Structure 1
Amino acid sequence: MSDLQAVDETTFDQTVLRSDKPVLVDFWAQWCPPCHQIAPVLAQIGAERNDQLTVVKLNSDENPSISARYRVMALPTLMLFHRGEVIWSVVGARPKAKLLKEIDDALLVMQ
């Protein structure tokens, strides 16, 4: 799907919940056209903002317990985690500029 690091049920807690910096998780599935639409945008954000946050992807079909834990009901769902807590989430694809603004606003609130 993209060049983003994939997380799963065995790596989620360590990679996402115990991270020292914020982590943006892309809950996606292979069958989801909007997921494929937003994937290159998320890869760009991950590369451009790698000093500020980590961007990872989680296949919801292959990791249903994590999707259920965070009540993911539609795809793509993006969740921004900081210190193990969800500080922002959104459902659906967004243009890059709008997505960056929403992420930046969420990161400002946590400071």
Structure 2
Amino acid sequence: MATINVTDASFRSDVLDSDKPVLVDFWADWCGPCKMIAPALEEISEELAGQVTIAKMDIMENPGVPGEIGVRNIPFMVLFKDGKPVAQKLGAAPKNQLKGWLESEL
């Protein structure tokens, strides 16, 4: 399963009401580091399919949720479990670091 796109409107159903953990990657089209980690997140999404859903939210098209959560810089990733934010990571990192961090939080 590849990454899913989440909007302000779908955030509750896609993330908060999910029966498995969801990692939300807050990004924007103009953000170079965001584009750098996108392929790694796609691969991690497939490698950890069934354990976690990886979702992407464009902060320019969806200002509501990032504003509520307090997203100041991107890329910014937040792991939600049972509708609650349980871990967060700011900035780009190599795939093995991202995957290691995510696995340690699951």
TM-score (normalizing by structure 1)? 0.91
For 1:5 and 1:106, locate their aligned partners in 2 and report how far apart those are by CA, in whole Å.
Answer: 20
Secondary structure of the equivalent of 1:50?
A: coil
Shift, 1:103, TM fit: 0.9
Percent identity, aligned pairs only, is 40
Runs (5+) with no aligned partner, structure 2: none
- The residue aligned with 2:91 is 92
Q: Distance in 2 between matches of 1:17 and 1:74?
A: 22
- Partner deviation per Cα, 1:48-89 (whole Å, 9 max, x = no partner): 111100001000011111001111000100110000111110
Aligned length: 105
CA distances 1:10-50 after superposition (whole Å, capped 9, x unpaired): 11100000000000101000000000000000000111111
Q: Counterpart of 2:17?
A: 18
| CA–CA separation in structure 2 for the residues paired with 1:19 and 1:63 | 19
Task: State the TM-score, normalized to the length of structure 2.
Answer: 0.95
1:62 corresponds to which residue?
61
Distance in 2, matches of 1:20 and 1:4, equals 16
Moved more, 53-62 or 98-107: 98-107
Q: Unmatched 5+ residue regions in structure 1? A: none
Q: What residue is the counterpart of 2:41 in the other structure?
A: 42
Residues 27 and 34 in structure 2, CA contact (< 8 A), matched pair in contact too? yes
Distance, in Å, in 2 between the alignment partners of 1:11 and 1:50 is: 20
Q: Which consecutive segments of 4 or more residues in structure 1 shift more than 4 A? A: none
Task: Tell me how large the CA RMSD over aligned residues is.
Answer: 0.9
